[in-house]
Chain A
Amino acid sequence: MSDLELAPSAGWRLRPFAALDLRLSPLAAVGIVILLAFVAMALFAPLLAPFDPAIPSLRARLAPPSWLEGGVAQHVLGTDHLGRDMLSRLIFGSRIALLVGFLGVAVALMIGVCVGLVSGYFGGKLDAALMGAVNTLLAIPNTLLYLTVLAVFGQSLLLLILIIGCINWTTFARVVRGEVLTIKRREFIEASRTIGQRPVVTMFKHVLPNVLGSIIVIATMNVAMLIILEASLSFLGFGVQPPTVTWGRMLADGRGYVATAWWLAAFPGLMITLLTLSLIFIGDWLRDRFDPRSDS
Chain B
Amino acid sequence: MIGYVVRRVLQMIPVLFGITLVVFVLLRASGDPVSLMLGEEASEAQIAQLREAYGLDRPLYEQYAVYMGDLLTGDFGRSIRYNNQPALEVVLERLPATASLAAMALVYAILISLPAGIIAALYRRRIPDQIASFLSVLGQAMPNFWLGIMLILVFAIWFGWFPVSGREDAYAVVLPGLALGASLAAVLTRLLRSSMIEVLSQDYIRTARAKGIGPTAVMLRHAIRNALLSYLTVIGLEASSLMAGAVVTEQVFAWPGIGLLAIQAINSRDMAVVQTIVILAALIVMLVNLLVDVLYSLIDPRIQHV
Contacts and interface: CB of A to CB of B under 8 A. Distances in A.
Touch test A–B (CB under 8 Å): yes
Contact of A232 (B19, B145, B240, B286): B145
A6 B237 CA distance: 9
A2 B293 contact: yes
B11 A1 contact: yes
Interface in B220-254: 230, 233-234, 236-237, 240-241, 243-245, 247-248, 251
A206 interface: no
A142 B233 CA distance: 18
Contact of B282 (A139, A149, A225, A251): A139
B285 A139 contact: yes
Question: Contact residue range for chain A?
Answer: 35 or more
A136 B272 CA distance: 19
A136 B143 contact: no
B141 A277 contact: yes
Contacts of A296: 201
A151 B26 contact: yes
B281 interface: yes
Interface in B148-193: 149-150, 153, 157, 191
Contacts of B305: 2
Interface stretch (B27-35, B49-57, B62-70, B211-219): B27-35
Interface stretch (A36-44, A106-114, A118-126, A268-276): A268-276
Nearest to B27: A148
B46 interface: no
Question: Contact residue range for chain B?
Answer: 35 or more
Interface stretch (A175-183, A188-196, A252-260): A252-260
B111 interface: no
A180 to B, nearest CB: 21
Interface in A1-18: 1-2, 4-8, 11-12
A258 B153 contact: yes
Given A147-B266, A236-B247, A142 B241 contact: yes
B146 A5 contact: no
A12 B198 CA distance: 9
A4 B295 CA distance: 12
A142 B243 CA distance: 9
A8 B141 contact: no
B263 A236 contact: yes
Interface in A149-207: 149, 151-152
B106 interface: no
A11 B278 contact: no
Q: Is the interface of A mostly helix, strand, loop or mixed?
A: helix
Contact of A269 (B8, B142, B230): B142
A193 to B, nearest CB: 30
Interface string B70-111: 000000000000000000000000000000000000000000
Given A140-B19, A251-B143, A1 B8 contact: yes
B146 A148 contact: no
A133 B14 CA distance: 10
B15 A149 contact: no
A293 B202 contact: yes
Interface string A265-296: 10001001100110010000001000101101
A143 B202 CA distance: 39
B164 to A, nearest CB: 12
B114 interface: no
B15 A255 contact: no
B22 interface: yes
A152 B30 contact: yes
30 contacts: A1-B11, A1-B289, A5-B289, A132-B14, A139-B282, A139-B286, A140-B278, A140-B281, A141-B243, A141-B244, A143-B245, A143-B248, A144-B247, A144-B262, A144-B277, A144-B281, A148-B26, A149-B26, A151-B26, A228-B140, A228-B141, A228-B142, A228-B143, A235-B145, A235-B251, A236-B247, A251-B146, A255-B145, A276-B140, A287-B194
Given A133-B18, A139-B286, A140-B281, 12 more contacts: A2-B293, A8-B233, A141-B278, A143-B245, A143-B247, A144-B247, A148-B266, A235-B251, A236-B247, A259-B157, A272-B141, A280-B140
Q: Across chains A and B, which 6 residue pairs bring their CB atoms closest together, nearest first?
A: A276-B141, A143-B244, A139-B282, A152-B30, A151-B30, A148-B26
